[in-house]
Structure 1
Amino acid sequence: MTNDFPQTLTIAGTDSGGGAGIAADLKTMQMRHVFATMVVVAVTAQNTLGVQDAFPMPTKMIDEQFASLAADLNIRACKTGMLADAEHVKAIVRNLKKYDFGPLTVDPVMIAKGGAPLLSEDAISVVRDELVPLADLVTPNLPEAEKLTGMTITTEDEMVTAGKKLQALGAKNVLVKGGHFNSADEANDFALLADGKSFWMTAPRVDTHNTHGTGDTISACITAERAKGHTMEEAIRTGKAYVEATIRDGINVGHGHGPLNHWAKIKEDD
């Protein structure tokens, strides 16, 4: 039996509203033509208005999910999302050291779009000190980058400094997402690669509230592209283009921060 089709793994929490978390990861990976698997770290009661409740999975079940995947599948790239608390981050680190699931993208999810915390305060240092050093790529937004580096980021020069600090923590490659800047015209992201190359990516800012799940989506797209054998720069640029398309060609679902349009296509797909 062959087992050579590109396979990916998302290690994260669910979103019952379907817009973020594992739901967004699976939709993105499917659209990017890889076979997606999951390790469920937590279950949330969530919709476009916010997170009403969250329940972390027993760590024994997390261990068993990892073991089950490793026994059968040929996962080529993986990513993390919502990891709940320090105990669960440590469980993820332990399993990622035990099993080789290809290059790891760490999306250091800390706060939901509606403001609910998705990572306990005591877990931030564990993410910084134990998970980030395992990362092939770390993809924080500005508040997450501030938490991980301990610095305030208000300018693009400070985004560059934050990228260098994150790389010094052990991440091979860094993508600092600038969407939280109060720029009316564009969203700029800064990428710093393992070989020292860096570049900026710019997209027109769309006037919409339908941006729930953007961080999950770009990290999932990058993971899919890496599983298909694309270089880090190619994967990052495709991720940016895909998220831009999901926002630009939006859909209206729910009454709050609506989800992206994961059916969106980019020019590279034509």
Structure 2
Amino acid sequence: MNGRVLIIAGSDSSGGAGIQADLKTVTALGGYAATAITALTAQNTQGVLSIVGVDPMFITQQMRVVLDDIGADCIKTGMLHNAAVIAAVVEALDTLATGIPVVVDPVMYAKSGDSLLNPAACDTLIQRLLPRAAVITPNIREAEALSGLSIRNPDDLAAAAHQLLTLGPAAVLVKGGHLPGDSVSDWLVWREGAEAFTAPRFASRNTHGTGCTLASAIATGLAQGLPLNAAVRRALTYVREAIRTAPNLGQGCGPLNHGHTVQPWN
């Protein structure tokens, strides 16, 4: 077991996204995962029924006791549903996690389209959390909302990534999975360069939790000492195989096969 990852995110009762996906991903890639849970959701593959937020002070207490005892080599944030939660998490990062890289998945919408971020909190996300990030991992809808640009083709992915870089993160990965076409392109941009990752598209409905999974896979790579582009490349390969071998559960967007790296114990 190599690489400690503290995950600050919401719980998904269906097990396909959120904290549940994060824990599976870090474990499947050989790391150790600890958590600070920000919200409880009642959801399944068809949508999010309701959300119960966790008090910001309790979120930061979870962070503190984990970091004081176990520590972390990388931190990943997922669902931070309102401005108070974002502000509390950033303050805790500034006081408890100096020098630890942070992977920010700017979770704004569920795969079903349900909103997971209070619209009033977007400015707080941009002003407080994004500048703290080693890398942010928005999908197209999130990248459009944060950058103000429209994304209609792969070239637009790079333009949006460069625009988001001006908001302060050290790097930006804009995910292109929602664009049409036979291939999927994702653009990683940092201050000294850029790299595109392109792969064939799998025709699959089983994509619930891909964003959470990818961000946690990247965080695991960074925690294990991989350079950012190598961590992204491994994470994308892991997610693609998790989609390809998905168990085809549920009636909506099905969950991934997070355990495809794991051999059953007989």
TM-score by length of 2: 0.95
Q: Which blocks of at least 5 consecutive residues in structure 1 are unaligned?
A: none
CA distance in 1, matches of 2:236, 2:260: 13
- Whether 1:7 and 2:4 are equivalent positions in the alignment is yes
1:172 Cα deviation from its structure 2 partner: 0.5
Q: Which structure 2 residues correspond to residues 152-167 of structure 1 after superposition, within 5 A?
A: 152-167=150-165
Distance 2:161 2:27 in 1: 30
Equivalent residues of 1:7, 1:227 under 8 A apart? yes
| Residues 198-237 of structure 1 mapped to structure 2, 5 A cutoff | 198-237=194-233
AA matched with 2:48: V
Instruction: Tell whether the 8 Å contact from 1:187 to 1:203 is kept in structure 2 after alignment.
Output: yes
Candidates 111, 114, 128, aligned match of 1:113 = 111
Match of 1:56 among 45, 53, 74: 53
Give 1:157 deviation, angstroms: 2.1
1:5 to partner: Cα distance: 5.0
Q: Superposition pairs for residues 150-189 of structure 1, below 5 Å? A: 150-183=148-181, 185-189=182-186
Shift of 1:49: 1.1
Contact 1:245 1:265 (C-alpha < 8 Å) held by counterparts: no
How far does the alpha carbon of each residue in 1:242-268 deviate from its partner, in whole angstroms, 9 at most, with x for none? 1111011221111111000111249xx
Q: Take 1:257 and 1:40, find their aligned partners in 2: how far apart are those partners?
A: 23
For residues 205 and 38 of structure 2, what CA distance do their matches in structure 1 show? 27
> Shift in Å at residue 111 of structure 1?
0.6
CA RMSD in angstroms comes to: 1.4
1:29 aligned to 26, 40, 43, which one? Answer: 26
**4+ runs deviating over 3 angstroms:** none
- Structure 2's unaligned 5+ residue stretches are none
Q: Give the secondary structure class of the aligned counterpart of 2:149.
A: coil
Q: TM-score, normalised by structure 1?
A: 0.94
Distance of 2:73 and 2:220 partners within structure 1: 9
Paired residue secondary structure (2:257) = coil
Q: Percent identity?
A: 39
Secondary structure of 1:263 counterpart: helix
Matches within 5 A, 1:65-80: 65-80=62-77
Equivalent residues of 1:108, 1:138 under 8 A apart:
yes
Shift of 1:28: 0.1
